[in-house]
Chain A
Amino acid sequence: MSALMDAQRSEQSLKSPQDMVIIKNLDFFYANKQVIFDLNLNIQANQILSVFGPANSGITTTLRSINRLYEMNPKARLQGEIYLNQRSIFDSDVSVTELRRRVGMVFDVPTPLPMSIFDNIAYGPRLKKKKRKAEIADIVEEALSMAALWDETKDRLHTPAMSLSGGQQQRLCIARVLALQPEVILLDRPCSGLDPISTARIEESLIQLKKRFTIVVAPHNVQQAGRISDRVAFMLMGKLIEEGISAEVFANPQDQRTSDYITGRFG
């Protein structure tokens, strides 16, 4: 067996991975149109799972289901179960606001708030609980450091976030999510429109962040999925076709449709 696969396997067995998110028999509908069909997917803690596939495969919808963000769309509805840390996210006593803190999300287009870099990060923690100034400053520094943005911004924390470059703005959005101390981070094509250097910085940040968080990413492309993921899940037309250790799926996909997609023969 190849060294890379061995390493990935032994890493998994040493950690005896825990399923942080479990999706069971998920069917998803927009009005009468079904877009996800009987999805079953376990997402292991402290790993990066890339969910990839062609457009309209249900990837963004899958991500938005995990923190119930789909509920913003009145025509959306789902059947099935999603468990976060062994507890259903649909239980009546689950607060959606708290769920979205625990399962943070970063979108394809950076969305800095029209305020300073510091305030962008401090905004969430200030809302959550009254905190002392020094405490907030610590949270901002830690979040920016984890998102590999501290060194570039520490001398300009009170300048507008909009003045940052596209790549920096996206790392700021990651830092904003981290400041809320989530358990899971969902990233929906976080490197769209970014240059290769900014992309590499974000990928490096994600690899560091998985030590503390569980990460689910809809990657920018197949190569990105290969570079950063521990496991990958290939979806096609709302169905999960194949899921497994990243190096195994990219070396020997078990399903012909996965093979055709990753080798660029369709999609």
Chain B
Amino acid sequence: MKTNQILIRYGELSTKGKNRSSFIGRLRDNIRHTFSDLGKLQIQAERDRMFINSDSEEDLEQVIARLPKVFGIQSFSPVTETELSIEAMKKAAVAIIGKMDTEGKSFKVSVRRANKQFGMEKPEILQAIGSSVLSTYSGLSVKMKDPDIELKVEIREKAAYMTAEVIAGAGGLPIGAGGKALLMLSGGLDSPVAGYHMLKRGVRLELIHFFSPPFTNDRAKEKVLDLADKLSQFGSSVNLHIIPFTKLQQEVHKQVPDNITMTSTRRMMMRVADKVLEQTDCKAIITGESLGQVASQTLESLYAINAVTTTPVLRPLISTDKLEIIDTAMKIGTHDISIRPFEDCCTIFTPANPKTKPKLEKVEYYEGFVSFDELIQEAVDHREIIKFPRAKKNEFEDLL
């Protein structure tokens, strides 16, 4: 008896008509990428479901532990293979159900006897397996329709296959199925969560971060690197573009009155992002903005900021509350990184009273005295690009 297979049920992809096979292919590639550190996995993608096979039970345990993060999967089940004897099947059934919570749960066994040579008829098999499970776990009761636990037994040519546990997947679409977009990553709570929502809809991410040394320090940068690393753990690698932003930010402060520097700074970020977008084949900009959260996130502000670009700006968090965002951040493991107390380029230079209703014409008027184009191009040209996940080598390995 061994667990050597995992059965995967697709998420929404089942409804995607002609694109279906490309979605399935994408999912298969993402699974390969996610588990590239493990031994060889055989992945067999069928129309309705996918099977992962491996001879290493340890590897499969890893797959089971990490698969709930991979998008495009509705649910999955470990499959146990046993030899073709009723005793082996009974033993396996007891072991499989033993891993689940049985107290007060309803239960049934179903059997597919594809191998007609097998010595017992279906009712006998049902009876034998069912009674050994029920006599072991007294909390179970039998229910034929919609039981909490259904143990499925498939008797094939060379072996029997059994499965009961159904583990929820992450849902959504396989990453990459939805194209690529550029996420503005600040280091705060919101932007990684916005990125996560888009990943879930199958969008691959490029990340852009604005770095203003010496006003922001290495710790703040480290924080962003750690966030980028987290965002690369959902089945697809990401590139982080670190933009040297100090000069642009200083120029803005020289040119525009204090209470609209924030609006103008954001407009510069958009313009830089637009340039990076062109070079990285992205089709949209993603931000973590949530309406009304801060001065820059009023409709008036968004209008004035958005005016610099015609690129679609996706704001998946626009209607969510801070508490919902915090919940998601905790769930995806970015919360503790985001709350580290280091300044980012948005929190320094913040004027005491930023305008919550900036006027576009005014902003344009003040910006109009100089051309920012050169500084923007310079920032784009001097950006640092880091690929994630980072190589896992521990720099202190020899020391420790």
Q: Do A and B bind each other?
A: no
B→A interface (CB under 8 Å)? none
